[in-house]
Structure formats: structure tokens, C-alpha cells
Chains A and B, each alone.
Chain A
């Protein structure tokens, strides 16, 4: 009888031990993923130009509108701090002598996801995963800010423009600007901080 009570206690303790509670600081935290083109020589780039308009995606609705000033300024300052020079002389999209890097910002307001089984998955939203085992991040969830540095220096005359660097700040555009903006700015700063190779050559 005593042995049974002991075994029952042990089984109960094991069940309690199996319970997992993810801390709130993790669930509500800002995740930032960055990826670089392994063939890109970031020291060879000298100039950049940020598209002042950003594209927001909300399901099937795509809206192009002026980017929030704070987001624009934070990206710009990070690039300046790394030695890149802002080029305001170029007239997009077909002007002569484009800058080396074009900066395009996208905000995913609604759900735009790509399913990659067995990789990073959102446990709360079905079919929302992203994979970074090979350095790629290919799925966008609600509230993701995406920054693309486009390689205009080595761009082909026709066809798609190559992306030299991509950053995703996850969970920073939830529809509450006073809450979101500091998170978005933190995400931008961290994206640059974790990419030390982004440095203009002398």
C-alpha cells in the first residue's frame, strides 16, 4: 500500500514536471531575423537610397503609402552609422547612376504566410512557419516589418533585382502604434546590430 502511494506520488510529480509554461517575456518579445546574400560584398557598396514609401500587406490588400518617419529615420541612421552615404540625386526608378543599395520596407499587417513543415512554427497559428537553418526566412506573419537592401550596384539590366540583405522584425506591427513603434524601432536597431558585415569600405 505504501509502495503504491509512493508510485502514485512519483507519477504525479512526473506529470507536474512535464508541464511547460513559456514565459510571457518570450511570447511578447520581438524576434529579429536577418539573412545576407553570401556572394554580396558589402564593403563594395558606398551609397544608398531609401524608398520613402512602404508597402503594407493585409491579406490580399496591398497598399503603398508614406513610411512612418521614425522608421525611415532609424533605418537611415543605421546605414549612415555604417559608413554608407545617402544618395538623393538619383531619380527612381529609371534615372541614371543609381545608388549602390536601394532600401525597400514592407509591413505585413494581415496574414501572409508560407508553410514549411518541420521548421520554425507558430504554435498558436496553424500553418505559420519560417526556416532559418540555412539562413533563409521565407514566411511572414501578422505584424512583421521587412527591410530589403537591394543590390542596385550589381543588378542585371533586366529581370528581378537581387536582394543583398533582408531583415525581419517579427511581431512589431500589431495595429497599436503607440505600442508597436518602439518595438519596430528596437527591431530595426537589432537587425543592424546583428549584421556587423554591413559596413561600407573606405
Chain B
């Protein structure tokens, strides 16, 4: 009887411990788990590319996968797409030995795929993080004046930093919000030094 009681007690302790451990691993995101996040993304152009389009992008998304590599440190891959567009009622573009003027419509698509590393300084329901991303970016720019159009596409280097936080809503699910700065070597619309500042909000699932 004593043996049975002892065994039952031991089993209960083990089950409780397992339950506690499970509750701990799913109560907030730590880089001991895998996570993927889908976010709505907005953005601004910075640097010389802002001379091509300087209106806010309201169309974009970001898909982010992360895996634990160490305590408080994750590695992963992120892909994001943004559409910037702007209409100029009248624009004069100076060119070598000439100029072109007229009402102009421009848009710019950016699609980046980058490897990431993130650091989580705090643990808890609210988990801020800092990260870096390095990889490539595909850009497609289009401009049209009257019914004449010019396009250009390029694949270039992209690097940047992220800052954000995960707010756990329930075990396995968090709100993911953050800000990213990206520098690229892409020459968009005859500009150089293309930079982007994106902010986002979305949901993260971890397991």
C-alpha cells in the first residue's frame, strides 16, 4: 500500500512537473521553441530612393520564421514584400542634356529574403527583441508618363536591423509588433542608397 502510495505520489509529482514545464514553455515565447509570424507591414523610403517615391507604403506583409540556437538567441529567415507608389501631377526629371516633364505615376515593389538573428533580453509575457537581417532584395520599379512607361528590375544586397516585441495573448500565440530599418545596394529609378523604414503588426505562433 505504501509502495502504491509512493508510486502514485511520484507519478503525480512527475505529471505536475511535466505540466508545469509545458505551461512554462508555452506561456511566452522564448528561443527554445520555433516560431513563425505573419505581419501586416507599412513603410517609408529613406535616403536617395525617397527622391523616387516618398509616400508611405500601406501595402506589405512579412513572414518570419525563427528557431532557437541558444538561450535568448534565435536564428531564422524572414521574407517581406512592400509596394510603394506615388502620383505626381507634374514632374520634371532632369537628364543629361535634357529633361522630361509630365504627370508621372511611379511604383516600387521590394521583395526581400534574409537570414536573421534575434536576441531577447527579457523573458515574460512581453518579450522585446533586437535583431539583424542579411540577405538579398529584389526590386521592381515602374514609372509612367502619359502612356509611356519605363521599368527596371534588380536583385541586390540587403541588410538591416529589427526591434520589436512579442506580447503573449495565450499559450502559443503572441502579438508581434516592431520596426525594421533596411539598407540595400539596389539602384532604384536611377537613385542610389535605397533605405526603408518599415513598421509592422501581426501574429506569431510558437510551439
Contact = CB atoms under 8 A, between A and B. Distances in A.
B105 A6 contact: no
A135 B95 contact: yes
Given A22-B105, A35-B97, A195-B99, A30 B146 contact: yes
B114 to A, nearest CB: 19
Contacts of B105: 22-23, 26
B32 to A, nearest CB: 22
B97 A36 contact: yes
B101 interface: yes
B87 A170 contact: no
B102 to A, nearest CB: 4
Nearest to B107: A20
Interface string A14-36: 10011010110111111111111
B145 A122 contact: no
Nearest to B105: A26
A199 B11 CA distance: 97
B101 A31 contact: yes
Nearest to A137: B98
Given A17-B60, A22-B144, A32 B150 contact: no
Contact of B146 (A3, A133, A137, A171): A171
B147 A27 contact: yes
Given A20-B107, A29-B102, A29-B103, A10 B148 contact: no
Contacts of A32: 100-102
Interface string B127-160: 0000000000000001011111111000000000
Contacts of A134: 95-97
Contact of B98 (A17, A22, A35): A35
A31 B99 contact: no
B61 A14 contact: yes
A38 interface: yes
A33 B61 contact: no
B162 interface: no
A7 to B, nearest CB: 7
B160 to A, nearest CB: 21
Nearest to B93: A132
B148 A34 contact: no
Contact of A33 (B98, B104, B107, B190): B98
A26 B103 contact: yes
Contact of B83 (A17, A36, A124, A170): A17
A21 B147 CA distance: 13
Nearest to A139: B148
Contact of B205 (A3, A31, A130, A190): A3
A157 B99 CA distance: 31
A121 B87 CA distance: 18
20 contacts: A10-B61, A13-B61, A18-B83, A26-B145, A30-B146, A33-B98, A34-B100, A35-B97, A119-B150, A122-B149, A123-B147, A123-B149, A132-B98, A132-B100, A133-B95, A133-B190, A136-B98, A141-B148, A170-B102, A194-B101
Interface of B: 38, 40, 59-61, 81, 83, 85, 87, 89, 92, 95-105, 107, 142, 144-151, 190, 203, 205
Interface of A: 3, 6-7, 10, 13-14, 17-18, 20, 22-23, 25-38, 119-125, 128-130, 132-137, 141, 170-171, 190, 194-195
